[in-house]
Structure 1
């Protein structure tokens, strides 16, 4: 595991007792490093303990725990949960929609901690759920989301349950209390935001490319941010979500955890897929080092580590040509990520294979991968997808045409 300044890690444990308010970094190797986190960025985290200092690479971090606790929702407090298109959530209170912007207050306000500043465009919002503090309301809301179509929803809570009107929410008035609503059958109405007692659902365009997720940021206000970038230091922190929303924290005291994997990631090599692969013809068995295994987990076909250049990967799959792997992921994940390439130890630089990835039968990636090319980072939107299928095809069924999907995973 490539930590920088590795010899100092023993000192971090020894110096931990001298740290008054310690932070913890849990690594993918199962170690817990204790000290003071002084910086977090795209490369990783910088940890101090006494005079010892170390930088932990982001790919080696499971979770950074700053020790702060998420504030509970006070009794009788109404929560408007705002979910972004990337899965980030804000625990909101009073809410207004002014033009194409959403303005809101936080439902909880921990004593002595300044709230973050949020610039929230309406185009980044997936839904607003009213009464999110009540589990019954949350369960009913899931049913609404499961039955939605391709239009926005103006949801009203009625005695028999949630009901909705379909159309397009064009924006709010200057006061933020009324919505311009284009009806499904044509024409425009003005609807009171307060009358959407169930909430609002927005049918947003799916982006052509989804930025990679760095981590999930949890703060003491009960917000959960799916971050593409983080800048953390003594002056506070700035988090940019995958959907492009910027959240600025004036104080680091507002941050609780940076979750890089824990509970949010499933590696394909840890799942049991349905495997469809033709029987290897007798005349081709001599061409393959491992003819009985259409795919291998976390190792190459000869047991070698998975590597691209100087980078080694503890997790991943290696898939033979003419193999289809179908993974049941249950609609629980938002994003698929992998680094895709052919094994670099393959002697023929002209080898290539076609890789197709399908989400519930719909192709979301299809490219030819060549041995001479650099490995390709793949990031795909799989929100709500129940079956993920990986298909590998090649003209020559030799061992070198196997495709490596390093660090292949789905995450929430």
Structure 2
């Protein structure tokens, strides 16, 4: 009886993944995931079941699930909705493409929703060439081939794809191509209107699925991609559920409409996004941050906000990488009105900014010289974000 009870409890625990839920306010709660629908997420916390509205959730993290890569070189597919994930095989005709992945299972999508397929493995030299082709504008499909460490292509029209052949039309000629000789395919697709996904699903194989709907029934997740395709996912393959899109905008994702640098001496220290001046992570108060801005004195950043945001939040401080003599004066304005003004020194504890930006269209951040000239004036605005 005891062994049966233990086995039953083990199964129940396995079916209830542990998650960490972070809200828009930055607070986090942990518990065992019980259920989730389009409106709420339910956790078991101790003896209690508690529900939280998804409208106030930033992300749901699965701390026990680690990122992992398959030993076999997988294919990589991109969809028009922004989804990008590895697969093991695919078959395609002019209407439907069937994708087979270890984590996504069998997924059927409209062929017109597929923007690229990479068959070959990337290295540092090929990465730049492949990205350049992906980001270029093409009037025809590209059949990309690898010649040593260089990528070349033929333009035309891609037809059916089987396990070993790619149908390709170059002008009036139809050419059956051995799939093993092809590095990748980039389709010429008309520009589509971007829509904000309900949830961005981060998989442990480093894939990303953009979903218009997602639910959890106590065993599996069911997701509907923005392409209309449906998939069932095990909790063990999910690293994070990101609900921030449409709710949160990181300042590092925005382009300032104006930047002004005023060096104290001759060196101009340009601001950087999501990294410190040395290329490493932002570090304040002994904690590392993957998102934010590095700003050196004297720098003025001006942003034009198009959306209706309510709050501006950030963790502010002098970066831990410099000696304890950094000293800057910071002033943040909204529509010309001062929202924050004060000195920030290395000896200070990190400042949690939470500013009301309701109705603000023009946001201005000034990092000015302090009392120590410009020496070690390396200010970080960590997790700097606008919240609706």
Fold in common (TM above 0.5): yes
Please list every run of 5 or more consecutive structure 2 residues that lacks an aligned counterpart in the other structure: 1-14, 259-301, 312-333, 340-354, 364-385
Contact 1:81 1:132 in 2 (8 A): no
Change in Cα spacing, 1:232 to 1:97, as seen in structure 2 (3 Å) is same
Give distance in 2, aligned partners of 1:67 and 1:259.
14
1:101 is displaced (CA, Å) by 3.0
1:407 is displaced (CA, Å) by 5.3
**Structure 2 length as normaliser, TM-score?**
0.58
1:29 is displaced (CA, Å) by 1.6
1:156 is displaced (CA, Å) by 0.5
Task: Determine helix, strand or coil for the equivalent of 2:188.
Answer: coil
Contact 1:81 1:92 in 2 (8 A): yes
1:74 is displaced (CA, Å) by 4.4
The residue that corresponds to 2:182 in the other structure is 197
> Does residue 30 of structure 2 align to residue 34 of structure 1?
yes
The residue that corresponds to 1:178 in the other structure is 165
**Structure 1 length as normaliser, TM-score?**
0.55
Give distance in 1, aligned partners of 2:303 and 2:164.
59
Task: Determine helix, strand or coil for the equivalent of 2:88.
Answer: strand
Contact 1:63 1:257 in 2 (8 A): yes
Judge which range, 153-162 or 135-144, deviates more: 135-144
Task: Determine helix, strand or coil for the equivalent of 2:81.
Answer: coil
Contact 1:178 1:190 in 2 (8 A): no
> Does residue 237 of structure 2 align to residue 254 of structure 1?
yes
Contact 1:215 1:226 in 2 (8 A): yes
1:234 is displaced (CA, Å) by 1.3
1:294 is displaced (CA, Å) by 11
1:317 is displaced (CA, Å) by 5.0
> Does residue 249 of structure 2 align to residue 266 of structure 1?
yes
Give distance in 2, aligned partners of 1:190 and 1:116.
31
Task: Determine helix, strand or coil for the equivalent of 1:29.
Answer: coil
Please list every run of 5 or more consecutive structure 1 residues that lacks an aligned counterpart in the other structure: 1-18, 276-292, 306-312, 326-405
1:122 to 92, 111, 135: 111
1:230 is displaced (CA, Å) by 0.6
Give distance in 2, aligned partners of 1:212 and 1:200.
26
Task: Determine helix, strand or coil for the equivalent of 1:206.
Answer: coil
Give distance in 1, aligned partners of 2:178 and 2:78.
17
Change in Cα spacing, 1:65 to 1:319, as seen in structure 2 (3 Å) is closer
Give distance in 2, aligned partners of 1:220 and 1:294.
35
2:98 to 100, 103, 107: 103
Task: Determine helix, strand or coil for the equivalent of 1:318.
Answer: coil
Give distance in 2, aligned partners of 1:155 and 1:37.
44
Contact 1:97 1:177 in 2 (8 A): no
Superposed CA deviations along residues 72-95 of structure 1, whole A, max 9, x for unmatched, are: 2245x2221111112211212233
Contact 1:218 1:256 in 2 (8 A): yes
The residue that corresponds to 1:318 in the other structure is 360
Give distance in 2, aligned partners of 1:149 and 1:21.
44
Superposed CA deviations along residues 213-241 of structure 1, whole A, max 9, x for unmatched, are: 11211233443101111122214111122
Superposed CA deviations along residues 44-92 of structure 1, whole A, max 9, x for unmatched, are: 42222133233323232222112342452245x2221111112211212
Contact 1:210 1:242 in 2 (8 A): no
2:226 to 242, 260, 270: 242
1:66 to 53, 62, 73: 62
Task: Determine helix, strand or coil for the equivalent of 2:117.
Answer: strand
Matches within 5 A, 1:13-162: 22-75=18-71, 77-106=72-101, 116-132=105-121, 134-159=123-148, 161-162=150-151
Task: Determine helix, strand or coil for the equivalent of 1:45.
Answer: strand
Give distance in 1, aligned partners of 2:243 and 2:215.
15
Change in Cα spacing, 1:26 to 1:294, as seen in structure 2 (3 Å) is closer
